[in-house]
Structure 1
Amino acid sequence: KKKEKEVNIDQNKIKTLTTLILKALLKNRVNRVHWIELLEKPSKITSDSTFNKFLEKSFKDWLGSEEKNSPYEDNNTFPSKVIELLCSSVFLEAKLYHAQWIEIVDRRSCELQLDNSKWTSDDIDNIRKYAKADLQLWEKAFRHMDNIPSEVESDAKKMETTSDEFSRIFEYCLRCSLWFRHESPMQPRLFSLLGHTCTTLSKHKQLFSIMLCKFLSNNLQRIHDLLVSSSSSSSSSSSTELKQSVASLDNVVQEYKQFSESINRLRQMQRYLVDQDLPATLKVLVEESSKWEHQSFVQVEKHYEKDLGIFAKHKSSVELVLRLQQSVAFNDIWGNFTDKYKTFHLPEAPFSIFERVFEESKREWDHYRE
């Protein structure tokens, strides 16, 4: 019994020591070079099966564990770990561990997709330097990484669906911004996808939904920056075409911003307008504008162009009223004159009462300030 106890103690010491050694080897990238050598040839240390089991467990724990639960100081992301192993010529010879690598990579494949935020510049640079697409493990990794959407062709008959697809492509490309800035096997395809999307959309203005216009008004500069970051690999003719395409997109965005600003001003002005002032179409515009996400911007803009043009003629008056809207005194003055004029039988022209009230209120306000 005493001997058995001593043997158990010795085995526990060996297990503890082995665990500590493997943990030290996994501490950082420099140390892991030696750990990877053990994966390829564990007999360098011992042929003991217990050590092999511990080594196998360390591999599964290191590659398979979630970052937030990782016990290792060098807490790399999953994509970084995968690429680190693939960049090692020694690991490519560690055939005993390839099946386990494939099993873990298949299980966590979503984390390898290009638009995953876990990718780093170093990962992409290492792919450029070391990738060998004809090798099974690299081919497997590339297959999981490649979630690049297909190019979308214009289809005016399916405006809503097509516009949504364009939005999704733009969003995808923005999530892949790191891949645009670093040379890699993926960069040409990403650049082609984004370039094709911009060029196609610029030629078909009717495909701009309100939602797409909103998205581009917030993100067009970032999209432009992606194209610029990749333009060094494109021909001068395609680069010129892309600049023209982005300029066309920007023209639509500026139109949308002006249209949107007009609606916002009109909405803010409602408290200063009487019912007779607003044409029926503009009443609908204010009430329905929040429900237009999927409608064609061009069609909506054209439908309200005439009435918004009339409203635009009063821009200077509107801007002055909105600048003074926080003034209690001004609002009291405005309210008094509104009560006076809304009972008058004035010509039924849009904003006729508004202009009368504005003239009187401004005169009274100027006098009040003196």
Structure 2
Amino acid sequence: MQRPILGLGWIQNAQPRTLLRDLATGRLALTHEAFQQLPNWRTAAYLRDLLMQSGVLPLKDRQLLLFERWLEIHLDAVTDPEHARLLRRFAIWHQLRKLRAKVANAPLGNSPAREAREQQIQALALLIWLTRRGTALNDTQQADLDTWQSKNYFTRRPSHAFLTWCMNNNNMPVLSIHTRQTAPQPPMSQHHRISAIQRLLTEKTISLPARIAGLLVLLYAQPATRIVKLTISDIINDGNTTTIRFGDPPTPVPAPIARLLQEYLANRPNLDTATNPGSHWLFPGQRAGQPIHPVTLRSFLHKLGIPPQRGRTSALRHLVLQIPAPVLAQALGYHHTSTTRIAAQAGSPWASYAAGKHNCGAPEPTRQYGTRPGVLGG
């Protein structure tokens, strides 16, 4: 630990000191179940992360643990016993089963847990709304459902999972759930994108994490949720060339960005505390064993005037004009249907290229993004 004063300062706070004392005296059992019951959950979650990272507690998925903790608080606050029973069954037989299946294959990101919370919140809102209308769930008619969906549609859309589960389990009649598509955001203009790339490459007053994150979005069309899952092992340097493993095969990195990456790797943040001293994450977070939150990464870019979603779309639309959509999908970790759709929208000459296993990577993004030749060249 490079800065032990930070750890000592944290221990001096009342809540951590109490938890550590209770662990030492046996008043608090050293189990996940005991930590789940603690009222000061933020401090408890931080300490539990440290204990898992150090091997004192068995490793469990942090996002799943936080959702389970939130779920108990949420259900305890439901005043109608029948509503609480139904929501608990929905959580056990649908939500938790789905989340645990995801955890079995890969760490759970923030998005699935957030989606599950929204499903619970809107499911409860629906049940309360029906009760106030004097309608039981099993007596709900299509007109009721249409009225529910007609107002605040996108806020209430997470209730669709609960409605579908209820219909499949004979808790309500089988009715039609109407869907409505969100209007896609227009991509960032090519001029704005090129200008932002040049700024990220040359402006040293911008923090290194923000520069690297921005370049991964604007050059390689990577979403924040995928960027935070990159590890230092995904940056491959054989002494001559640098590649990044977004998909298969790894994607070439132009020399200016490779140099910036090497500088960043030698100066990654959040490695000077007890939480992440040996972190393998490309963007280490402040919590033990965790990368930074996607929201944090997006905030880096928003502060620089770079809209992540629009910037990513702009990069993808540019790349599909240079390389067949299925090949690009393979190299950048996309599903080929997504890149094929973007290719068709962009009028790519490769739009009809067949999907399959291909052996070429994404193009090295050199001499495409500047007003002068060689802006990104070696």
TM-score, normalized by the shorter chain, greater than 0.5: no
Where relative contact order (Cα < 8 A, 6+ residues apart) is larger, the structure is: 2
Instruction: Give the number of the structure whose residues are more often helix, by fraction.
Output: 1
Determine which structure has more spread, i.e. the larger CA radius of gyration: 1
